[in-house]
């Protein structure tokens, strides 16, 4: 005989499956990132000589690492919308961008002269980098949290954190096409810091907004 808790879980799952369209939500989430990034690049433009800069094998990682992180996080957000869903082994794929970022940082630290390691770090560069990513993340975080509310996330704090990670890494993809600072000691550190800040704030918002 079916237990009451099992029946409730089954009914809630069926209800969410009836209402939710993950593909549609995923497209809307992606658009919430693409639109502010497109406006940012339309106003300020991509960096001069972007294709030439990409001939340096380090530079594409500025874009590829947040791209991988954004795609992985978006998939996990859509999975956790459903009640009783779990991240499973998917979280281990985060090791790929994390280890790559760590290798870039250590390599740059070891190969550069001490005076050149943090030469690009200044008040203006930090304000531009952190400020741009934080500001561009506001709209995607708000929109995505609202979209996740349509589901029944059983881990609101984790879901909120993943929303922030998706949004921040997504806008970082666009910002990386504008940024001219190619030192991994700069972009790994400060892109990562901005993404972490947005992720933590979104986790706190998710804890309140996604409870049910």
Question: Per the domain annotation, does 4 fall within a domain?
Answer: no
- HEC per residue, 36-66: HHHHHHHHHCCCCCHHHHCCCCCCCHHHHHH
Question: Per the domain annotation, does 17 fall within a domain?
Answer: no
> Containing domain of residue 53, as a range?
23-209
In the predicted model, is pLDDT for residue 65 greater than 70? yes
pLDDT band at 3; cut points 50, 70, 90: low
Question: Per the domain annotation, does 41 fall within a domain?
Answer: yes
**Structure confidence by residue, pLDDT tens digits, 99-155:** 999 999 999 999 988 888 887 888 888 899 999 999 999 999 999 999 998 877 778
Question: Per the domain annotation, does 2 fall within a domain?
Answer: no
Cα 144 versus chain centre, distance: 12
Q: What distance in Å separates the CA atoms of residue 154 and residue 142, rounded to the nearest whole number?
A: 19
**Structure confidence by residue, pLDDT tens digits, 67-91:** 999 999 999 999 888 766 677 777 8
Residue pair 159/210 in contact (Cβ under 8 Å)? The answer is: yes
Q: Which residue matches tokens 């990386």?
A: 176
The pLDDT > 70 percentage for the chain reads 89
Question: Per the domain annotation, does 16 fall within a domain?
Answer: no
In the predicted model, is pLDDT for residue 8 greater than 50? no
pLDDT of residue 16: 47
Specify the number of domains making up the chain. 1
Q: What distance in Å separates the CA atoms of residue 23 and residue 141, rounded to the nearest whole number?
A: 18
**Structure confidence by residue, pLDDT tens digits, 173-183:** 999 999 999 99
């Amino acid at each position: 005989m079916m237990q009451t808790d099992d029946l409730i879980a089954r009914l809630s799952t069926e209800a969410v499956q009836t209402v939710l369209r993950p593909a549609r939500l995923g497209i809307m989430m992606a658009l919430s990132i693409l639109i502010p990034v497109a406006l940012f690049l339309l106003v300020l433009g991509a960096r001069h000589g972007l294709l030439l800069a990409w001939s340096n094998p380090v530079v594409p990682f500025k874009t590829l690492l947040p791209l991988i992180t954004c795609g992985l996080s978006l998939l996990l957000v859509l999975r956790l919308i459903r009640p009783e869903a779990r991240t499973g082994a998917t979280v281990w794929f985060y090791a790929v961008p994390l280890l790559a970022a760590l290798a870039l940082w250590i390599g740059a630290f070891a190969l550069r002269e001490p005076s050149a390691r943090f030469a690009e770090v200044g008040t203006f560069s930090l304000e531009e980098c952190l400020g741009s990513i934080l500001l561009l993340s506001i709209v995607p975080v708000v929109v995505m949290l609202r979209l996740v509310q349509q589901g029944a996330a059983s881990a609101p704090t984790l879901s909120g954190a993943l929303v922030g990670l998706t949004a921040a890494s997504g806008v970082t993809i666009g910002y990386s096409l504008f940024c001219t600072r190619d030192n991994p000691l700069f972009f790994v550190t400060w892109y990562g810091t901005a993404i972490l800040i947005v992720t933590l704030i979104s986790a706190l918002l998710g804890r309140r907004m996604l409870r049910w």
